Amino acid sequence: MIPADVLLLFFVSSIALALAPGPDNIFVLTLSAMKGRAAGILVTLGLCSGLIFHTAAVALGVAVIFKTSSIAFNALKIVGAAYLVYLAWMSFRAGASELEENKEASLSNRQLYVRGVVMNMTNPKVAIFFMAFLPQFADPARGDLTFQILLLGLVFIISALMIFGSIAWAAGFLGDWIQRSKRTQVIMNRVAGTVFAGLALRLITSTR
């Protein structure tokens, strides 16, 4: 079993990492400001669900493939960047009226959740980060390493939920103001498209 002091240190480190500006919290911030806090929270749940995949991958040793295989790393990187480019394209095409459409025409809860999952799972940097970060707090002398890594992954997911959920909640207060201004809606769509394009460029130019 992992000692309480080690878990506490890991939790504090995870909080600090979640607070550091990066693609995920920028994504949550932008979407929450545009679509409201509920949308941001759903995307946050999707992002954290993606972390379950990365945690399991590290625990089972699958992430080693992405660290040692350039082909696997680049393939996943291209898929992730392509998805972000698609989001950027959709944002640039959107106008003010599209933010005022009825619920049937807006993104469903499932689509928002899946968007977060896809973005997280197609980022190979997350897999490699987890592979480098989680084992530092595991020790074979304490018992089963797989269980320890799964536990650490759970703690990291909880910290990410706390921080990203807080970002979504805070950014959501901008939603009412944005909905009242068509000009602001158009600007926010352009900002969102620029953010997605920037994240795609950052991902596609990343190296292992």
* CA angle (28, 92, 187) in 5-degree steps: 70
Q: What confidence score (pLDDT) does residue 62 get?
A: 63
Question: How many CB atoms neighbour CB 130 within 10 A?
Answer: 23
Tell the residue number behind the tokens 């909080």, with chain if given: 15
What angle, rounded to 10 degrees, do the helices at 23-35 and 37-60 form? 160
Write out pLDDT tens, residues 153-179.
999 999 999 999 998 998 877 666 665
> What pTM, to 2 d.p., does this model score?
0.73
Kindly report the length of the chain: 208
Residue 69 C-alpha from the chain's centroid: 23
Residue 181 CB contacts under 8 Å (≥ 6 apart), including other chains: none
Q: What confidence score (pLDDT) does residue 52 get?
A: 94
What percent of the chain is helix, strand and coil (3-state, nearest 5)? 85, 0, 15
Write out pLDDT tens, residues 48-57.
999 999 999 8
